[in-house]
């Protein structure tokens, strides 16, 4: 090409990356001036990143392929500024809620990002068991993590994920896009070589427990009881040594010092005939947990030419989790066809079938049938093997072995008899037709469907603490959502001025129904059938339907590829709001300015300087059936009951106004990239449930009230310190800070806090004007003016009369950094992330400290009197303070200091640093691969959650509680251990 014919050539690499080169340049890496990625934006429209006035971060397929995980979303953790994956630590399926840029609504469901699969939003409703995480003494059941719909997606089918942050980026999705959107694009089969290609991905991974609490194994079971000689002793049942001390769950017994006592004999299931060595069993909790295994294999076939692209894949995952007899099987099938029928008409269709089956998933929370409950109550002197037979001799399926307390279920009974089964079919499909009426005018019609068909079973045997005569439950859940869009697009260039306009409409219909049958008591032990019920509770089907009709439009203005302006508008009509308020309008405007081109700064050193800004207003509706009174299913067969909440026929949508500004830099041929974003949103008319006078016949009512302001900063940095033919080093880092403030509340509160939620009746999330979402309240220690703990005359901590703010569950900031090294055919990647600040309350820490199970309760144990004096002061009659001198029994002191209601002593800073991912991959030389008649072959080792630094005392600082179908951050109630994963993978292409 000649110099005088200099033009900009656009080289498209698989439709994902475009590279601007002048015609006379040679195509070399070092000649690259600007890399302008193509990203998927709202409605599935592909746009160049530099034209966007908002943030759209893209994560490629390699991130999901190189570190396999049961939930693809967790591969995003630490790699996207402002993104947080919230999981409850509740088992292998790992339900996750994704939030972008923190919380902006008092309703937690409104803070979740929308998941969009191939242009169609996923609207599946998460269904819980209807149970609370803290259920001790309730006689009921517990939550079970049955998994989200979107975590059923096969990571090997994902081509890219684009994260649309802020309301401007996702305003075209209406109310469900108010908190941003995660745009998933699956593979289509397009490849630059054409022809048929077969891919095979296989990985095997192993899970072990990442981190344990600091259990103490110096003292055993007991309550400081002394024998006739005045020495502490232990006796399982009454014996010549003294009364029974073996019925307690506390570990304030004798020190392990070589002595012998009458203990439990597993052979006779009674007291031992002779005294046995008093010894600790240091692995009597850890040995219950094994090595989990996951085997995953995916085969894909794809082909493409100038008219057609085709891909189909089959995947099978077999998981045996760390807890015995738990895990799942998952089958995935995907089909994609992209065909140009004529020069004007193009059809694209995608279909996916996902089935997840499990005979048993673990229950989570604090109740008898949770394995967490057993771990809390297990004593240091009790051998785990004593429980293994499960049933007492001659009493199979009738009476379990739980020799120390009838309230503590046998752990192997929990694992092998208390079963939570699932068979879930998740189907998604869409078809898109695009017709080019003229070179400047297109029509797109897209229709998508999402179907969830789920069957669940719950089995509880005879003799379980909460179901002495057994229990069986069947749930049938059907959720179907239809989405249909029509979009008209017209584009025209007027010299240097380019215009692209679109207008369209959407019809969305969601239908949900659940059938629930419960057998209360089993006539024949171990026979789990509804026909075997002593009493059958059958609730009539309860629908939960919603429909939304929408129209929308967008216009993109572009002047000489230097200045871009986007304007969007959408109007929704929602069935969940009253007629006069059901129509609400979402406008947005955004702009980007490429200053580097305008000012002529583009050179070998300075590649890109872009300014961007945006404004948007979005509305958020409410859940179905909040307008008029209706009847709920009752536990009495054939009857119904009125809801306890008074409905509001005049509800208005919650409205949120968002502004955002930022800039992006690229230097030294893209070896240094930097981006910064500042944002603010104000959400008004929050839809909240407030208490009401009990005389009305209702306990609460729905109102519109309150305003929340959410602000934050995000920064990203990319470095390429070394780039040679054989070696390269790339660094990607991100940092984000988010703050929110409650600006107003309803007049009904008259200065009192609004309790948005509570866990266990001790931790309260209160909204106070001037406070923040995530503020955690509870009882604290009373302190003197010089900050010493105040004790009462009984030697125990003085009790405050009012709850106080403990801290905020959200951190001051989050950050992540990824290092990627390549030397010839070997690549190594390390991903770290962490946070500073944040608080979490731990129910497990309370109970294990109360019972003397943790090392923090060893202080004072060597005192012969078995007492301790609390470090602090007492208040004198004249108001002055003097040192506390009152001794208190050790078990009484620790039970009081770490009591459940003392949120302060059981809450901890959740700052952490994690080695989130590590991966080393070897790419076989091309000639060797050719000889094997293959196109690519690689093998690698990967790891996840390999190491963590934190002062949080339990399993994982990233704690959250599964409460029915909600995940509540900042509270740990019966958390299950977090897995450390290592594995090997093989990727081959033919």
Q: What is the pLDDT of residues 909-943, one digit of tens each?
A: 999 999 999 999 999 998 898 888 888 999 999 99
Count Cβ neighbours within 10 Å for each residue of 693-726 and write b for 16 or more, e otherwise: eeeeebeebbbbbbbbbbbbbbbbbbbbeeeeee
Residue of 790, 752, 786, 787 lying closest to 769 (CA atoms): 752
Asked if residues 645 and 702 have their Cβ atoms less than 8 Å apart, the reply is yes
Confidence of residue 10 (pLDDT cuts 50, 70, 90): very low
Count Cβ neighbours within 10 Å for each residue of 492-513 and write b for 16 or more, e otherwise: eeeeeebebebebbbebbbebe
The tokens of 355 are what? 């089935």
Confidence of residue 799 (pLDDT cuts 50, 70, 90): very high
Q: Which residue has the higher pLDDT, 909 or 759?
A: 909
Q: What is the pLDDT of residue 583?
A: 87
pLDDT at 546 over 90: no
The tokens of 368 are what? 């008898």
Q: What is the pLDDT of residue 670?
A: 86
**CA 271 – CA 907 distance, rounded (Å):** 40
Name beta bridge partners: 592: 564, 612
Helix (H) or strand (E) holding 663: strand 654-667
Q: What is the pLDDT of residue 175?
A: 81
Residue of 580, 605, 585, 607 lying closest to 596 (CA atoms): 607
Q: What is the pLDDT of residue 637?
A: 64
Please write down the HEC assignment for all residues of 371-425. HHHHHHHCCCCCCHHHHCCCECCCCCCCCECCCCCCCCCCHHHHHHCCEEEEEEE
Instruction: Convert the pLDDT of each residue in 385-439 to its tens digit.
Output: 999 999 999 999 999 999 999 889 999 999 999 999 999 999 999 999 999 999 9
- HSE-CB at 636 with a 13 A cutoff on CA atoms is 3
**CA 799 – CA 791 distance, rounded (Å):** 9
Residue of 938, 730, 925, 927 lying closest to 824 (CA atoms): 925
**Positions of E strands within 804-957:** 804-808, 813-823, 826-836, 839-842, 867-869, 873-875, 881-883, 887-889, 907-909, 912-923, 936-950
Instruction: Convert the pLDDT of each residue in 806-815 to its tens digit.
Output: 999 999 999 9
Residue of 294, 348, 341 lying closest to 322 (CA atoms): 294
Against a cut of 0.85, is the pTM above it?
yes
Helix (H) or strand (E) holding 790: strand 790-791
Min mean pLDDT across 104-108, 232-236, 299-303, 516-520 is at: 104-108
Asked if residues 656 and 683 have their Cβ atoms less than 8 Å apart, the reply is yes
Task: Please state the length of the chain.
Answer: 990
The tokens of 853 are what? 């199970």
Helix (H) or strand (E) holding 930: helix 926-931
Q: What is the pLDDT of residue 2?
A: 36
The residues, ordered by sequence, that sit 6+ positions from 437 with a Cβ below 8 Å of its Cβ are: 344, 443
pLDDT at 24 over 70: no
Three-state SS for 495?
coil
Instruction: Convert the pLDDT of each residue in 134-143 to its tens digit.
Output: 877 667 888 9
Q: What is the pLDDT of residue 30?
A: 35
Instruction: Convert the pLDDT of each residue in 120-176 to its tens digit.
Output: 888 766 788 888 888 776 678 889 999 888 888 898 999 999 999 988 888 888 888
pLDDT at 886 over 60: yes
**CA 213 – CA 950 distance, rounded (Å):** 12
Q: What is the pLDDT of residue 20?
A: 33
**CA 520 – CA 468 distance, rounded (Å):** 10
Give me the percent of the chain exceeding a pLDDT of 70. 94
Confidence of residue 233 (pLDDT cuts 50, 70, 90): very high
Question: How big is the chain by its Cα radius of gyration, in Å?
Answer: 31
Q: What is the pLDDT of residue 627?
A: 72
Asked if residues 203 and 984 have their Cβ atoms less than 8 Å apart, the reply is yes
Three-state SS for 505?
strand
């Amino acid at each position: 090409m000649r110099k005088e014919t200099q033009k900009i050539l656009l080289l498209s690499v698989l439709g994902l990356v475009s590279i601007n080169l002048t015609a006379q340049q040679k195509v070399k890496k070092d000649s690259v001036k600007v890399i302008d990625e193509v990203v998927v934006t709202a409605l599935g429209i592909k746009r160049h990143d530099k034209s966007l006035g908002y943030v759209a971060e893209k994560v490629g397929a390699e991130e999901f392929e190189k570190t396999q995980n049961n939930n693809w979303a967790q591969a995003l953790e630490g790699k996207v500024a402002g993104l947080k994956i919230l999981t409850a630590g509740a088992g292998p399926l790992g339900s996750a809620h994704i939030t972008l840029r923190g919380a902006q609504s008092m309703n937690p469901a409104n803070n979740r990002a929308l998941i969009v699969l191939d242009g169609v939003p996923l609207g599946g409703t998460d269904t819980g068991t209807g149970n609370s995480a803290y259920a001790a003494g309730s006689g009921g059941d517990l939550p079970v993590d049955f998994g989200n719909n979107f975590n059923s997606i096969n990571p090997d089918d994902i081509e890219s994920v684009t994260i649309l942050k802020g309301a401007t980026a996702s305003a075209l999705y209406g109310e469900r896009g108010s908190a941003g959107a995660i745009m998933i694009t699956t593979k289509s089969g397009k490849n630059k070589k054409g022809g048929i290609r077969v891919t095979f991905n296989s990985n095997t991974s192993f899970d072990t427990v990442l981190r344990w609490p600091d259990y103490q194994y110096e003292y055993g079971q007991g309550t400081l009881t002394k024998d006739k000689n005045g020495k502490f002793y232990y006796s399982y049942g009454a014996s010549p040594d003294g009364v029974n001390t073996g019925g307690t769950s506390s570990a304030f017994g004798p020190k392990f010092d070589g002595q012998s006592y009458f203990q439990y004999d597993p052979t006779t299931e009674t007291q031992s005939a002779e005294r046995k060595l008093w010894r600790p069993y240091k692995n009597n909790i850890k040995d219950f947990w094994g090595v989990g295994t996951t085997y995953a294999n995916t085969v894909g076939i794809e082909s493409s030419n100038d008219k057609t692209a085709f891909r189909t894949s089959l995947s099978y995952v077999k998981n045996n989790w760390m807890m015995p007899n738990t895990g799942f099987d998952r089958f995935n099938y995907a089909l994609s066809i992209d065909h140009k029928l004529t020069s004007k008409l193009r059809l694209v269709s995608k279909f996916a079938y996902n089935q997840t089956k499990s005979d048993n998933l673990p229950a989570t929370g604090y109740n008898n049938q949770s394995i967490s409950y057993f771990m809390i109550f297990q004593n240091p002197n009790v051998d785990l093997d004593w429980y293994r037979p499960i049933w007492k001799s001659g009493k199979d399926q009738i009476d379990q072995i739980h020799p120390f307390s009838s309230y503590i279920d046998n752990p192997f009974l929990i694992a092998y008899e208390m079963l939570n089964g699932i068979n879930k079919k998740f189907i998604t499909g869409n078809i898109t037709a695009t017709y080019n009426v003229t070179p400047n005018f297109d029509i797109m019609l897209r229709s998508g469907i999402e179907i969830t068909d789920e069957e669940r079973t719950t089995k509880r045997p005879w003799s379980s603490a909460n179901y002495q005569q057994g229990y069986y439950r069947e749930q049938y859940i059907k959720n179907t959502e239809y989405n249909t869009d029509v979009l008209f697009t017209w584009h025209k260039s007027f010299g240097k001025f380019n215009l692209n306009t679109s207008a369209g409409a959407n019809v969305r219909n969601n239908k949900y129904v659940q059938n629930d049958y419960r057998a209360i008591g089993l006539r024949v032990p171990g026979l789990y059938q509804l026909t075997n019920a002593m009493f059958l509770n059958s609730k009539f089907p309860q629908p939960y339907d919603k429909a939304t009709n929408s129209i929308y439009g967008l216009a993109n203005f572009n002047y000489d590829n230097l200045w871009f302006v986007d304007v969007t508008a959408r109007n929704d009509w929602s069935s969940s709001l009253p007629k006069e308020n059901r129509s609400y309008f979402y406008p947005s405007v955004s702009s980007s300015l490429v200053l580097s081109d305008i000012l002529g700064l583009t050179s070998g050193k300075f590649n890109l300087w872009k300014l961007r800004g945006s404004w948007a207003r979005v509305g958020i509706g409410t859940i179905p059936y909040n307008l008029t009174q209706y009847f709920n299913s009752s536990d009495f067969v054939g009857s119904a009951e009125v809801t306890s909440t008074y409905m509001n026929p005049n509800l208005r949508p919650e409205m949120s106004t968002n502004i955002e500004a930022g800039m992006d830099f690229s230097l030294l041929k893209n070896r240094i990239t930097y981006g910064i974003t500042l944002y603010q949103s104000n959400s008004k008319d929050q839809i909240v449930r407030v208490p009401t006078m009990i005389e009305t016949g209702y306990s609460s009512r729905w109102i519109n009230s309150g305003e929340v302001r959410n602000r934050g900063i995000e920064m990203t940095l990319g470095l390429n310190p070394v780039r040679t033919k054989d070696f390269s080093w790339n660094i990607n880092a991100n940092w984000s800070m988010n703050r929110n403030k409650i600006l107003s509340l309803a007049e009904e509160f008259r200065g009192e806090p609004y309790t948005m939620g509570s866990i266990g009746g001790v931790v309260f999330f209160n909204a106070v004007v001037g406070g923040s979402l995530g503020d955690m309240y509870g009882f604290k220690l009373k302190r003197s003016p010089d900050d010493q703990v105040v004790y009462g005359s009984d030697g125990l901590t003085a009790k405050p009369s009012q709850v106080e703010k403990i801290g905020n569950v959200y951190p001051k900031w989050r950050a992540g950094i990824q290092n990627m090294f390549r030397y010839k055919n070997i690549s190594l990647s390390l991903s770290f992330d962490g946070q500073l600040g944040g608080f979490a309350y731990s129910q497990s820490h309370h109970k294990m400290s109360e019972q003397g199970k943790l090392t923090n309760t060893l202080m004072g144990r060597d005192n012969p009197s078995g007492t301790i004096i609390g470090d602090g002061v007492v208040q004198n009659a004249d108001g002055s303070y003097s040192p506390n001198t009152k001794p208190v029994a050790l078990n009484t002191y620790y039970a009081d200091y770490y009591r459940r209601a003392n949120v302060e002593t059981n809450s901890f800073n959740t700052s952490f640093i994690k080695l989130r991912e590590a991966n080393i991959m070897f790419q076989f030389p091309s000639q060797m691969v050719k000889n094997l008649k293959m196109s690519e072959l690689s093998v690698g080792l990967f790891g996840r959650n390999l190491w963590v630094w934190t002062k949080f005392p339990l399993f994982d600082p990233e704690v959250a509680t599964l409460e029915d179908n909600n995940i509540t951050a900042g509270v740990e109630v019966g958390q299950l251990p977090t897995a450390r994963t290592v594995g090997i993978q093989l990727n081959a292409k033919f």
